[in-house]
Structure 1
């Protein structure tokens, strides 16, 4: 018996992944293939099969219980249920894997670098703010953070929000990150060097995140461009 997760927001995420798959010519089946034969730590749950269930929003009882138990992280999940939070993590991982494959196809040296690079649901003391990728441009290694917006959020709000802890890590002196943004379904994006633009962010309280502190960059509409153009700028 499977449990169908009913959520308009998560349905949009799945639709968005299908759009990415088509636009960037990257098969989701091919993206999930490297997870074949791999299992989540301290479990018998296959990562490949689990990710396939997540993409259908139909979870077996075992997978549903696993997700509910591993994602009981109140500080991080905000107003979401544990299952919703876990599914958003999974969709984020798959999105990153697609972008990673595209960047590699451009002939750029890049590798996963975040704490969740092994695609495990982390305990609170394991969760960090390390950038998603490490990329080499002209022989110089730079951290690269990948961020996604759904339902044209940046275009509609003209803003990009970052959690306080994430922002502080991205602008750490001498280790400033490049940030690659991908917005769906409009397939626009941006490439921002935090070394140059960190002073443009304004600190504020974000009600949508349970009144947690965040840093906001305004004027995003002027920064958004076709994602294909933005990706080529990396090379």
Structure 2
């Protein structure tokens, strides 16, 4: 605002001075008026320069305060201030199956689906047959169990010690393979463990079949 006012003032002074000279209204008087106006303009410009210098000094102080604040924060946390990396957008997912037939008669036995075809995020652990949730959210799981001739297999989907679902593959009265599939959608907390086990009290018989064309499998993904 003030800068614009001073520019306008300069324009008016110069214009008036030029007009006086051109119209010839007394050479001495015109010179005196012009000198007075030039002095007034110099004073105005000096005042403007003083104000601008003060504003520049104020801005430098503000910048110093910001730098000091960042330094204090860095000292308190003991860490460098870094821009967070772009998070991985891929959601955890896995698909696994048994590499061979598994004895089903052991109660309360976690089934280790040891062949892993998909394991986004590496949250499924084939050695233990356990999926560990990397973060809280909604997940879907399914498992398919094949029972041998005249056998019956009771299985449960577990979250830690909680039963989320159960299926029975029953070939006890048939000379053929039977299968059973379960699907569960559940809210998990970070660190929850999900796995398939044989029933703790109902006794299974025979084997869980897993061969080319008859794969017993376990899979899951975050929705």
Q: What band does the TM-score fall into relative to the shorter chain?
A: under 0.3
Larger Rg: 2
Q: More helix by proportion, 1 or 2? A: 1
TM-score (norm 2): 0.22
Determine which structure has greater relative contact order: mean sequence separation of CA pairs < 8 Å that are 6+ residues apart, divided by chain length. Answer: 2
